[in-house]
Amino acid sequence: MTSTQPALRHPSLSPTAEWWKAAVVYQVYPRSFADSNGDGIGDIQGIIDHLDHLEDLGVDVVWLSPVYASPQDDNGYDISDYYAVDPTFGTLEDLDELIAALHARGMKLVMDLVVNHTSDEHKWFTESRSSRQSPKRDWYIWRDPRDGAEPNNWGSFFSGSAWELDETTGQYFLHLFSKKQPDLNWDNPEVRAAVYQMMNWWLDRGIDGFRMDVISFISKHPELPDGAITDGQSWGEGIQFYGSGPKVHEYLQEMHREVFSHRDADLITVGEMVDATPELARLYTDQDRRELDMVFHFEHVGLDHGPGGKFTRKPVDLVAIKHSFARWQNALADVGWNSLYWNNHDQPRVVSRFGNDTTYWHESATALATVLHLMRGTPYIYQGEELGMTNMSFQSIEDFRDLESLNYYNEANQEGDSSRAADLLAGIAVGGRDNARTPVQWDGTPNAGFTTGTPWIPVNPNHEWLNAAAQRTDPGSIFAWYRTLVRLRHEEPVIVDGRFELLHAKDPQIFAYTRTNDTTALLVVANCSSEPFTFSSSIGTKWADAEVLLRNQPDGSLAQELRPWEVVVLKKRLA
């Protein structure tokens, strides 16, 4: 550790190796967190103003979604200058102040690294598109038309083709996301060197690591082959040709050498990987391979997607959710490491999605938090999740801001199919990303304490009773529950390193597992349903002498019945 590194919040944790295994990360989506200057958009000073909230919660690391210069086509995931802070969010000095303020409180800062693509307004891209002879031409992925049309059949994540024609030079460029997010050509060594240089610049400035946006997409199959077209889809599934492509491990190892290897060990890296399987994640997160510390996979957050994708929904299947978690827990038990999340800025709110946000709001929010946080891995809390924030009651298309939702809606409307457009709107209302992006509910005043101006996206009306001010001082609140979960991870080594074993795998109502190390065993049992659960065989007898570590009901025993969304955690000392 050098003197510029912050003192660790929990000195009992090893100061160097793999400290992040005992850490909890909190994600800030700056646009929606807190607005300090009344323009209706959250900003860096707004974050600085609310650090007490994060310190109270006890989190170790803040992951900040992009604040770099950006035209904001995709709320900052389209970067036009990696070395500048967008005036929407503040200045570089504000960011330095945030880094110092976090470090002073023993917290670390992880920045978002968005390098699969840039903004089309980045100077690298404006140079690249200026002519076929531009020295930067090869920094992006340009192809001639095929039969007068797109070079292949890949679809963009945000609807339509993944290719856009540049009229001036007569070639198409690839954009897996919006057409304002052209993909960089990672096969060009100059591109990689420029990215590593930028990463080093930020680490030298004092940040503590990176969350790497869609990082498994950086190596495309050199021939860019067509993808298979599934029924009812207009575009081919290209992901098998760009997800974890041929050189992705080589590039991540090179990045490790060029950026991380000569630095102190207390940095943290997490890669977002839409295509990750447990087998791939073992490769990416095996410390001996020197790639990443952990990845975000998408398996559990895809389980309620219907046949038409995320905007068609199917009922939540608890058995499938448990099966998925157990598969990942087991696959990364000996090698690698899991990240644990229900929410982020792209996902609907967990209490509305997998819980019950009306009758059992408090119970289901705490039960879902518990089953996630007591597994093996590094937990991530998305802003507002610690308050049990819910999905938004969107009324009409005017309430949405997210380009993904709007693009799909406009596409359906253009096809003139009004019933499809209506179905899509219903799907967007429950599955769309804006559910996660309504302002953080600080208090019960008209704009929830988020802004004194007009918020860029509507505030959820339930902020009148669901807010931080109401919860911060209430020992029975969801906030207090999260604080306890964070504290337990810091205090109980079995939560960090214990073996995981799923119990009652096929039961459709309860989520139960044990964590065990040489000295301690934990039993976590949650009724993940809105009906009472009656034990057929008593799960409790073996644990009769155990200590109750946590319960979200005033009393109860594991011998007979669990109330709807009741969760109980027991702890036993082993011989």
Q: Does 340 bind ligand ISL (CB under 6 A)?
A: no
Min separation Cβ 36 and Ca ion, Å: 6
Question: What's the CA gap between 243 and 199, in Å, rounded?
Answer: 23
Q: Indicate if 167 belongs to the active site.
A: no
Does residue 274 touch ligand ISL according to CB under 6 A? Answer: yes
304 binds ligand ISL (CB under 6 A): no
Candidate residues 386, 404, 434, 566; the one interacting with ligand ISL per rule CB under 6 A:
404
Q: CA 178, CA 75: separation in Å to the nearest integer? A: 12
- Give the closest residue to 187 by CA, choosing from 221, 143, 153: 221
45: left (phi > 0), else alpha (psi -120 to 50), else beta?
Answer: alpha
Interaction between residue 35 and Ca ion (CB under 5 A) = yes
- Which of 139, 177, 325, 342 touches ligand ISL (CB under 6 A)? 177
Tokens representing 334?
A: 């000996």
**Among the listed residues 339, 220, 216, the one whose alpha carbon sits nearest the alpha carbon of residue 273:** 216
Determine, following the binding rule CB under 6 A, whether residue 535 of this chain makes contact with ligand ISL: no
Instruction: Return the one option of ligand ISL, Ca ion, none that residue 328 interacts with (CB less than 5 to 8 A, by type).
Output: none
Q: Which of the listed partners (Ca ion, ligand ISL, none) does 43 bind, with a CB threshold of 5 to 8 Å by partner kind? A: Ca ion
Q: Which is nearer to ligand ISL, 435 or 514 (CB)?
A: 435
Could you give the CA distance from residue 383 to residue 349 in angstroms, rounded to a whole number?
A: 10
Q: How far apart are CA 403 and CA 75, in angstroms?
A: 9
Q: How far apart are CA 500 and CA 255, in angstroms?
A: 32
CB 459 within 8 Å of CB 439 = yes
CB of 38 to Ca ion, least distance (A): 7
**Angle subtended at Cα 393 by Cα 312 and Cα 300, rounded to the nearest 5 degrees:** 40
Min dist. Cβ of residue 451 to Ca ion (A): 7
The answer to the question of residue 342 lying near ligand ISL (CB under 6 A) is no
Which of 43, 112, 357, 402 contacts Ca ion by CB under 5 A? 43
Contact predicate 301/324, CB 8 Å: no
Q: Identify any residues that bridge with 339 across adjacent strands, giving them in sequence order.
A: 378
Nearest-approach distance from CB 341 to ligand ISL, in angstroms: 12
Q: Which residues contact 209 (CB under 8 A, 6 or more apart)?
A: 61, 108, 110, 111, 267, 268, 269, 270, 293
Nearest to 438 by CA among 468, 408, 462, 469: 462
Of 10, 18, 39, 187, the residue at the interface with Ca ion (CB under 5 A) is: 39
Single residue of 19, 33, 77, 173 touching ligand ISL by CB under 6 A: 77
Q: 414 Cβ partners below 8 Å, 6+ apart? A: none
Contact flag: residue 213 with ligand ISL (CB under 6 A): yes
Separation between Cα atoms, residue 172 and residue 153, nearest integer Å: 13
Contact residue for ligand ISL among 53, 192, 433, 437 (CB under 6 A) = 433
Q: Which of 50, 310, 322, 349 binds ligand ISL (CB under 6 A)?
A: 310
Burial class (CB in 10 A: 0-12, 13-18, 19+), 87: exposed
Determine which one of 74, 272, 492, 566 is catalytic.
272
Active site residue 213: yes
Question: DSSP strand E in 321-432: where?
Answer: 339-340, 378-382
- By CB under 5 A, residue 49 contacts Ca ion: no
Of 29-37, 90-98, 458-466, 513-521, the window that binds Ca ion (rule: CB under 5 A) is 29-37
CB-CB contact of 389 with 460 (8 Å): yes
404 binds, among ligand ISL, Ca ion, none (CB under 5 to 8 A by kind): ligand ISL
Q: Binder to ligand ISL among 96, 157, 188, 501 (CB under 6 A)?
A: 157
Backbone angles phi, psi at 463, to 5 degrees: -65, -15
Report in angstroms how near the CB of residue 454 gets to ligand ISL at its nearest. 24
How many angstroms separate the CA atoms of 228 and 154, rounded?
A: 9
Number of residues lying near Ca ion (CB under 5 A) = 5
Tokens, residue 398: 């005017």
Residues 95-154 that bind ligand ISL (CB under 6 A): 114
Q: Which does 349 bind (CB under 5 to 8 A by kind): ligand ISL, Ca ion, none?
A: none
Asked whether position 325 contacts ligand ISL by CB under 6 A, the answer is: no
H/E stretch holding 403 reads helix 403-414
Which of the choices Ca ion, ligand ISL, none does residue 157 contact, using the CB cut-off of 5 to 8 A by kind?
Answer: ligand ISL
Alpha-carbon span 220 to 314, nearest angstrom: 32
74 near ligand ISL, rule: CB under 6 A: yes
Q: Which of 346, 363, 385, 434 binds ligand ISL (CB under 6 A)?
A: 346
**Residue number with the shortest CB distance to ligand ISL?**
77
Q: Give the binding site for ligand ISL (CB under 6 A).
A: 74, 77, 114, 157, 177, 213-214, 272, 274, 310, 345-346, 404, 433
Q: Give the binding site for Ca ion (CB under 5 A).
A: 35, 37, 39, 41, 43
- Catalogue the active-site residues: 213, 272
